[in-house]
Structure 1
């Protein structure tokens, strides 16, 4: 089976659009003879005339009118495919608007952006940091980083890695107040709260053999930014549920330790999210690839990556 004569269909579409062999040839950058031959070739192939031709007027036949919309789609899709390929081959350029959580963005996104910007000098990044949930579509963002168990939405999401969340405290606090053996023991402990948890007034834990526990935290400090809990934690003022990307260095240095190691908070993950739609500009694709590689290989990241 022979392939369709895509060139002839594209030429026919342009003639039908302009109403003139000459104008179509000019727009396509070919000779009028090439246009005429392409249309004749197509008419011979389908066995029907596509145009009524007189010395003064050119009009579509019934067969031409029936074929016009399909031919226009062939031309438009071919032009779009070429434009996408040209953009992919060209050096990415332009502005990418990226939204990220405040603490995570300051600690882990901002430090890796200089290498990306050095490798792509024609790309600029507008980094928006907020612990509140940002409306990517309404805010005009190209990308977002979200740390959560994602709810279903129209956004396109790519999971980069898992993130462990642990109950942590300073050794000095635990030496003074004791080390809890069960989440219920937290009723007598100072709990430092983060306002943007999915359930800030309830801490949920999963334990051995499918056991579950929920406690109501109470303590001297609650904040809408997880960084604000760090000084109080290190000063031994209480315990807090913190993601590893916030506390991994403190844990490694011994400034904090994990509490209730047999129990875990509900799992979360780091995702790259983007508004729906194709194709993505090359500048956005370049930043996605860079962030995915850099963040999924971070020391606090958990597989699968």
Structure 2
């Protein structure tokens, strides 16, 4: 039995979530992928995968083995590249998850350029407003807005997003402009339905103190772009990142409110599981996006300095 090949097939099955998908990635038959893993389990005398008719997932022992194998495979890739006199070339499939609005409104040009720069990589984008499990969904890297709570994840900051509260001019003409966050109790607010704290909005005062305000309204959704459009239609006040509300404000369809009370900007992070070594494809994506956002900030700064923003 080729244990190295068995490890590679096993890791691909875990990442892909099944034998058929893994076999497709590796260019082998499903039966061959199943045979490799079965031989590996027999050699180790332990069950690595839970198999059902609907999905395949690692056992506790399988997950621990997967973590070590991914490190080993990355080491081998780097060692081979070193002997060959060059860096490991990113290739294969890179599975990325990101919020739909961020991906559509902010990341699309960067991802398109990244794809052109690395022709041996294929990108598989999973757009979700909620946090996606890396192992269950076979995710290589996530792009997330806000704080990363898990100690099992590494976050590399690549940019930031400012939160903005805004409403349509005609709505403000009818209902008045809130002067403080507490005034939102007199307004219809549009909130995220998927978040447990979607009706808690965070603000900050001039002294840097954090404020939490409970808001209410009849309209809820799990998509920030939809909420922004509903706000622009005069349905109420919404709060969302600048990459969602900025274009609507520039067009005059929304007007910012409570600007002195906005909280500090949220980080935009590239996130991946804690591992001793990064694969070449994840490292390439992380570095490319960090450089992209840095260039974008420099362009915005020059435009602001010359008054052309």
Could you say which TM-score interval applies, normalised by the shorter chain?
0.5 to 0.7
Which residue in the other structure is 1:255 paired with? 253
Q: How far apart are residue 166 of structure 1 and its match? A: 1.6
Aligned length in residues: 226
Q: CA deviation at 1:254?
A: 2.3
Q: 1:151: which partner in 2?
A: 149
More deviation, 119-128/196-205: 196-205
Q: In structure 2, do the counterparts of structure 1 residues 160 and 114 end up closer, same or farther at CA, with 3 Å as the change threshold?
A: closer
| 2:145 alignment partner, SS class | strand
By how many angstroms is 1:137 displaced?
A: 3.2
Question: Hey, what's the Cα distance between the residues in 2 that align with 1:157 and 1:195?
Answer: 26
Rounded Cα–Cα distance in structure 1 between residues aligned with 2:292 and 2:249: 22
Over residues 224-273 of structure 1, what are the superposed CA-to-partner deviations in whole Å (9 max), with x where a residue is unaligned? 11111122111111101111111111222322121011101464210101
1:296–1:81 CA distance, 2 compared to 1 (3 A): closer
**SS of residue matched to 1:248:** helix
CA contact (8 A) 1:99 1:144 kept: yes
Distance 1:145 1:300, change over 3 A: farther
CA RMSD of aligned residues (A): 2.8
Structure 2 equivalent of residue 224 of structure 1? 222
1:292/1:176 Cα in 2 relative to 1: closer, same or farther (>3 Å)? same
Moved over 6 A (4+): 299-303
1:92/1:286 contact within 8 Å kept: yes
Worse-superposed segment, 113-122 or 172-181: 113-122
After the TM superposition, which of the residue ranges 164-173 and 286-295 deviates more from structure 2? 286-295
Unmatched segments (≥5 aa) in structure 2: 1-74, 302-309
Q: Report the alpha carbon displacement of residue 287 of structure 1 after superposing the two structures with TM.
A: 1.8
CA distance in 2, matches of 1:81, 1:94: 15
Which is greater in Rg? 1
Task: Describe how 1:104-115 pairs up with structure 2 within 5 A.
Answer: 104-115=102-113
Q: What is the CA distance between 1:84 and its match in structure 2?
A: 4.5
> What is the CA–CA distance in structure 2 between the aligned matches of 1:256 and 1:203, rounded to whole Å?
19
| Cα contact 2:189–2:215 (8 A) shared by 1 | yes
| Contact 2:203 2:211 survives alignment (8 Å) | yes
* SS of match in other structure, 1:228: helix
Partner of 2:158 in structure 1? 160
When normalised by structure 2's length, the TM-score is 0.65
Unaligned runs of 5+ in 1: 1-77
